[in-house]
Amino acid sequence: MADKIATRASYGRALVELGAENPDIVVLDADLSGSTQTKKFADKYPDRFFNAGIAEENMVGMAAGLALSGKIPFCSSFAMFASGRAWELIRNAVVHNRANVKICASHAGITVGADGATHQCVEDLAIMRAIPKMTVINPADDVSARKLIKQAAEMNGPCYIRLGRAACPVVYDEDVNVEIGKALTVREGLDFTVIATGIMVEKAMEAAELLAAEGIQIRILDMHTIKPIDKEAIIHAALETNGIVTAEEHNIVGGLGSAVAEVVCTCAPCKMAMIGVKDRMGESAEPDQLIEKYGLTGKDIAEAVKSLR
């Protein structure tokens, strides 16, 4: 895990590759192409790139029209603006019309860092998964991000893909088998299960090493698809281990923890704990400082696992 790559950079690379493979791929951006990395696509395929300006609602409306005309549009902005400002258009123009639009939102979570609370979106997974029939994806690293983005291009239907600003460790080899809607087993274990998403997968791996030193073996599931969530993997974890800890760089209200709890309480009740942002706003600081302050470290996950004993 020596390499660190931001998943927004993975997005830029995937778009260029998709553009070469499929002439129907088009990309829209809300005047943030340098930050979202869509500039790479714009430089390569300028006739298929549209800068909507600082007007996210218009961008999504344009994308819906392009999708209904047979194109496969990828819409890009910061998570705060894509999921916040444009929510009504995503709901009504895209999902209600079953338009094949991919909303790819970068700069999600508190690891946006110094930009502070106004730009640190910790609500996007909740508000996107609340939209009927919306697929919601949160990759863990560069490899899984590129694979999931390409799968999103192949599927017919709207989806939301959460991407990060900060460089994060590459946890997977290129040959990893990652599939939309299927949790990825990162580590086997029968004592407890940690279900993590996004950058918290790597933190769960850190927790596993800390716990192994104490004789506790945990199963780690990368729940990269928040919706549709892999119910079967959750039920197996609830029945086969002694409890579940969820880990997300997102508000614990409405995010991964809530989604897992919905499955657990209806299908296989078990002990649970949730690691995430505890229903509060972000603040300005370096990403590592915020991870520590908000209790999102590997040590925090390990302590949550031990609390279930």
d(CA 48, CA 44): 9
Q: Is-contact 139 198, C-beta < 8 A? A: yes
Phi, psi of 250 (to 5 degrees): -165, 160
- Burial of residue 261 (number of CB atoms within 10 Å: 0-12, 13-18, 19+): middle
Q: Which of 56, 123, 202, 249 is catalytic?
A: 56
Phi, psi of 99 (to 5 degrees): -80, 140
d(CA 201, CA 214): 20
State yes or no: is 56 an active-site residue: yes
- 3-class SS at 80? helix
- Burial of residue 185 (number of CB atoms within 10 Å: 0-12, 13-18, 19+): middle
d(CA 143, CA 278): 29
Catalytic residues: 56
